[in-house]
Structure 1
Amino acid sequence: MVPTVSLWIGRLIAGAVVIGIVLVGGTAVRVWQVARIDDYTPADAIVVLGAAQYSGTPSSVFEARLYQAGRLYAAGVAPLVITVGGKQEGDLYTEAASGKAYLEDNGVPGDHILAVETGSDTLRSIEAVAAAMRERGLSSAVLVSDPWHSLRTRTMARDAGLSAWTAPTRTGPAVYTRESQFHGIARETGALLWYQLTHFSADFPYEAGQ
């Protein structure tokens, strides 16, 4: 019996749904896998992705990232820490500047910190960092952000021409509860798929700060 047009349409829809489930599920697994990686291989720079700051004081999300960057610097992973991030309308400080001040207050010499005071989302921040590193003849970076953010930041950094790997924070709100972990994986799965499809940032609010 020859399948009817409606049967063919049904099969196509079912196939598309299965492909979508496999694609989303596979991406979520990769987000989870890379989130578990802590690569302390020596690099030219430690790059801290920005998050919210309040009148120069890093938010708890940002502080957790900065604390991890300080640990990596103290362990000799890289001689330079790069903080990155601009400011929201009405802010007096950029994320990069407040991050630099925090690191200085916690023992990292100011001349070993580069504040790249631009970037309102992950993609713009990574592109700004890549440009600043190229100007200085630097090419390798260990990226510090929340665990679930690792795969997307690494993908973007490599697309920008950097040799990049990740050593995310293991403290802070992003890892406190199972709910926050699930939410982070789900959000990053969607954001990464969007980036791979369009090469634009998803512009989720937490990229500019939490």
Structure 2
Amino acid sequence: MTNDKKRWLILILLAFISALLLAITSTAISIYLYGNKTYTAKAEAAIVLGAAVWGEEPSPVFRERINHAINLYQNQQINKIIFTGGVGEPNEAAEAIIGKNYALARQVKLNDILTETESRTTYQNLKNARSVADNSKLNKFLIVSDPLHMKRAVLMARNLDMDAYPSPTPTTRYSSLRSQIEFLIRETFFYFVYLVFQI
């Protein structure tokens, strides 16, 4: 291979790497900025995306998502709360059931709580929540999760033909710089995976 060909191959490779890094960086920035958006108008229901549970209690991350949904309910921004999430570990209750019990203990009415207990991923959370919502004729939703999770979650919901809007948890447990960077890296990767594979 001649020196000219080698030079061109190196230039093409550098251009490809630069374009890839630019795409990754711009996507990460858009995910971060999107997490600061909040839809303040009313919706029919909040969909609380599942997270880990600790025994019979929600993990700190899940607890703050639930608290945010309860605040939306108490402020009459929503009429119903849909809890999502199946069993994460053997012998644990489903995430949705833990969320439901936590909300009931804080004066959310039983008739205003809906659950789905089979999902294990964000996409499954939303797809199953849509089925639950369809059965109750609910059409407009606030998606409740951590801020850096919002962009992918709302994109998934809208691709499922849901009239969905972001409602990021203001008291997210991902508040330290390290935890935010780790979450952002992970979420950027999964955002690209979803764009490519729709999963």
TM-score normalised over the length of structure 1: 0.89
Once residues 172 and 153 of structure 2 are traced to their aligned partners in structure 1, the CA distance between those partners, rounded to angstroms, is 18
Map 1:105-144; keep pairs closer than 5 Å. Answer: 105-144=105-144
* Secondary structure, counterpart of 1:174 in structure 2: coil
Structure 2 letter corresponding to 1:43: A
Contact 1:40–1:72, Cα closer than 8 Å, also in 2: no
Offset of 1:3 from its aligned partner?
8.1
Match of 2:104 in 1: 104
C-alpha offsets along residues 73-105 of structure 1, whole Å, 9 cap, x if unaligned? Answer: 111111100000000241341000110000010
In the TM superposition, residue 157 of structure 1 has moved relative to its aligned partner by 0.5
Return the alpha-carbon distance in structure 2 between the equivalents of residues 87 and 22 of structure 1.
Answer: 38
Q: Residue by residue, what CA displacement relative to the aligned partner does 1:32-67 show, whole Å, maximum 9, x if unpaired? A: 111111212211210101111123211111101000
Shift of 1:163: 1.1
2-side partners of 1:92 and 1:72: how far apart?
A: 28
Instruction: Give the structure 2 partner of residue 6 of structure 1.
Output: 6
* CA contact 2:114–2:132 (8 Å) conserved in 1: no
Q: Deviations over 1:128-160 (max 9, x none)?
A: 112222233222210111110011110110111
Number of matched pairs:
198
Q: Check the 8 A contact 1:146/1:168 in 2, yes or no.
A: yes
Provide the TM-score with structure 2 as the length reference. Answer: 0.94
- C-alpha distance in structure 1 between counterparts of 2:91 and 2:84, whole Å: 15
1:17 is matched with: 17
Structure 2 unaligned blocks of 5 or more: none
Give the aligned partner of residue 64 of structure 1.
64
Q: Please list, as runs of the form range in 1=range in 2, the aligned pairs for 1:1-210 lying within 5 A after superposition.
A: 4-175=4-175, 177-200=176-199
Between the aligned residues of both structures, percent identity stands at 26
Aligned-partner SS, 2:168? coil
| Aligned counterparts of 2:8 and 2:120: Cα–Cα separation in 1 | 46
C-alpha displacement at 1:166, in angstroms?
Answer: 1.0
Secondary structure class of the residue paired with 1:29: helix
What RMSD over aligned residues (CA atoms) do the two structures have, in Å? 1.5
Provide the rounded CA distance (Å) in 2 between the counterparts of 1:152 and 1:5: 41
CA contact (8 A) 2:115 2:132 kept: no
